[in-house]
């Protein structure tokens, strides 16, 4: 049961998938078309899930489910991962690359590889106030309040001491 992302309750569970590159507008449309089909029928052991999804910054796919309605099961979560993998193949993109950290520079998302992170901090390209994404938030309210945060308030803080 697909509902608009904005109508999801604050305690709705979220999963964030960061793409390894920015999606073109035609690719966002393709994700929306595929997602509408998937989430309209997404279920846990035959029970419909009140769910939604949204692309943020043309870089992040965020999936949400209202577990007050019906809880997502292991199998249903696996099927949502299958949906993400289907989108990956469809668009030749990677949503599971954990070797890149996203930052915001000049209102745009910038990806920095883990291997270059120390050097970027040393050069001053990334500092403690540089905004980054905490992709581990688990609810819609956290997405709205704690997803985009200064680097110093994440695990990256250790690079600034």
- The proportion of the chain whose per-residue pLDDT surpasses 90, expressed as a percent, equals 92
pLDDT tier for residue 153 given thresholds of 50, 70 and 90: very high
Segment holding 27, helix H or strand E: helix 25-41
- The proportion of the chain whose per-residue pLDDT surpasses 70, expressed as a percent, equals 100
User: Residue 45 contacts by C-beta under 8 Å, 6 or more apart in sequence?
Assistant: 73, 75, 76
What average pLDDT does this structure show over 130-158? 96
pLDDT in tens, 31-62: 999 999 999 999 999 999 999 999 999 999 99
pLDDT tier for residue 10 given thresholds of 50, 70 and 90: very high
Strand partners, 139: 13
Q: What is the dihedral of CA 71, 5, 78, 98, to 10 degrees?
A: -130
Instruction: Report the predicted TM-score, pTM, of the whole model to 2 decimal places.
Output: 0.94
CA atoms of 149 and 57, how far apart (whole Å): 15
pLDDT tier for residue 161 given thresholds of 50, 70 and 90: confident
């Amino acid at each position: 049961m697909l509902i608009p992302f904005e109508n999801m309750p604050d305690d709705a569970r979220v999963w964030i998938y960061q793409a390894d590159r920015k999606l073109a507008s035609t690719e966002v449309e393709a994700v929306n078309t595929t997602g509408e089909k998937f989430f309209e029928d997404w279920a846990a052991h035959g029970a419909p899930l009140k769910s939604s999804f949204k692309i943020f910054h043309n870089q992040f796919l965020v999936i949400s489910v209202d577990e007050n309605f019906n809880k997502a099961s292991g199998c249903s979560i696996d099927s949502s991962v299958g949906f993400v993998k289907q989108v990956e193949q469809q668009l030749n993109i990677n949503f599971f690359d954990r070797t890149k950290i996203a930052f915001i520079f000049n209102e745009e998302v910038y990806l920095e590889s883990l291997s270059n992170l120390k050097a970027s901090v040393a050069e001053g390209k990334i500092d403690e106030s540089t905004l980054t994404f905490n992709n581990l938030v688990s609810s819609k309210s956290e997405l709205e309040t704690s997803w985009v945060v200064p680097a110093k308030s994440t695990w990256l803080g250790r690079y600034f001491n």
